[in-house]
């Protein structure tokens, strides 16, 4: 009896002192990311990121959507490695020049502000890639969306890929199958595609990104019939056949600054702004069912969005000794 009791005590001791690891296996790499990565090296890291994001949001509510988009556009090109933040220099041709990012990607100065604040407290410790992942989470929360623990430990790339940015990021006019293929190439699936598209519950898009839906969707001089014609008539007032390319429109006209499930409700009413939004409801049976589910059940959307953001954040990060921890996010360290 005493012997068996001792065995139980030893077993319980092993369980009690075994490390709890909320580790997240990163897709396409042997490295692991985990939320506690900076607990000892920079314990205030997450607090600093959150406070700078919150301050920026009070001055510019658009910034929340911009930060989520930066993380997305970063991860889809060579993985979540902050390559999107690099300026052109030497052998680097900046991803900021690509079609998906030129004249639309924003928030770069804010990321530098966050980085500067972190460098004051923990020099050369927190990566720009992790700042992007944390800022995207904090932007979701501050607009009313779900929260999640962000796995951390990414390092920063020493290069960028203009061609990757042009080819790998889903475009507003891509077909359903092309967009799904681009997601699958990153280790993401149809469920991730639909839930992550739900980030369009906040933010804006330019006239040039959806003009063809209003005037010439299929090259026959006719509008897109999967777009509510009443909604189209409103959009035409500020998005003419020519000119006004940079005019901004809410992606979710119902609650443009609130992270909720109205985006999916809009799709059911054929009021998705971009073609890439509306086809989630019109072009595939499985995605249509998910749109209907998320339109009816915001909690289901929030739960899946958080899971998919973690999954996206795990795309091919640089870990261990790969890459570097940039001191300034817009340039690699050897540029000093």
Indicate if 59 belongs to the active site. no
Q: Active-site residue among 73, 116, 262, 334? A: 73
Q: How far is CA 318 from CA 54, 158, 274, 321, in A?
A: 28, 10, 33, 8
- Half-sphere exposure (Cβ direction) of 188: Cα atoms closer than 13 Å: 32
CB 179 within 8 A of CB 169: no
Q: What residues contact 216, with CB distance under 8 A and at least 6 apart?
A: 222, 223
DSSP state of 260: S
Q: Which residues are annotated as a binding site for heme b?
A: 200
- Distance CA(219)–CA(203), nearest Å, equals 28
Within 10 Å of residue 7's Cβ, how many Cβ atoms? 10
Element (H, E) at 248: strand 248-250
Q: What is the residue whose two structure tokens read 């020519």?
A: 242
Q: How far from chain centre, in Å, is Cα 67?
A: 8
Phi, psi for 94 (deg, rounded to 5): -65, 140
Burial pattern 301-328, b for ≥16 Cβ within 10 A else e, equals: bbebbbebbbbbbbbbbbbeeebbbbbb
Active site members? 73
């Amino acid at each position: 009896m005493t012997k068996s009791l001792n065995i139980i005590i030893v077993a319980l001791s092993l369980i009690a002192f075994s490390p709890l690891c909320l580790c997240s296996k990163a897709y396409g790499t042997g490295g692991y990311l985990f939320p506690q990565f900076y607990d000892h090296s920079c314990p205030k890291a997450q607090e600093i990121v959150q406070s700078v994001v919150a301050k920026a949001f009070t001055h510019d509510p658009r910034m929340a959507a911009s930060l989520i988009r930066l993380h997305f556009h970063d991860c889809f090109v060579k993985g979540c490695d902050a390559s999107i933040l690099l300026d052109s220099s030497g052998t680097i041709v900046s991803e900021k020049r690509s079609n998906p990012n030129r004249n639309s990607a924003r928030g770069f100065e804010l990321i530098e502000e966050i980085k500067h604040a972190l460098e004051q407290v923990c020099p050369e410790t927190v990566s720009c890639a992790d700042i992007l992942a944390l800022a995207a989470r904090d932007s979701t929360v501050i607009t009313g969306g779900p929260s999640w623990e962000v796995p951390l430990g990414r390092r920063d790339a020493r290069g960028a890929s203009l061609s990757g940015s042009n080819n790998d990021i889903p475009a507003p006019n891509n077909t359903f199958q092309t967009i799904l293929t681009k997601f699958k190439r990153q280790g993401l699936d149809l469920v991730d595609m639909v839930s992550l598209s739900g980030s369009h519950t906040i933010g804006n898009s330019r006239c040039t990104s959806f003009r063809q839906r209003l005037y010439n969707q299929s090259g026959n001089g006719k509008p897109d019939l999967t777009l509510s014609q009443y909604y189209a008539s409103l959009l035409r007032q500020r998005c003419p056949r020519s000119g006004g390319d940079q005019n901004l429109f809410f992606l979710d006209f119902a609650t443009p600054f609130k992270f909720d499930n109205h985006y999916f409700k809009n799709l059911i009413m054929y009021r998705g702004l971009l073609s890439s939004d509306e086809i989630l409801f019109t072009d595939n049976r499985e995605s249509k069912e998910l749109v209907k589910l998320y339109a009816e059940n915001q909690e289901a959307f929030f739960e899946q969005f958080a899971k998919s953001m973690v999954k996206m954040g795990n795309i091919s990060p640089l870990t261990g000794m790969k890459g570097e921890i940039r001191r300034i996010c817009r340039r690699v360290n050897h540029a000093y």
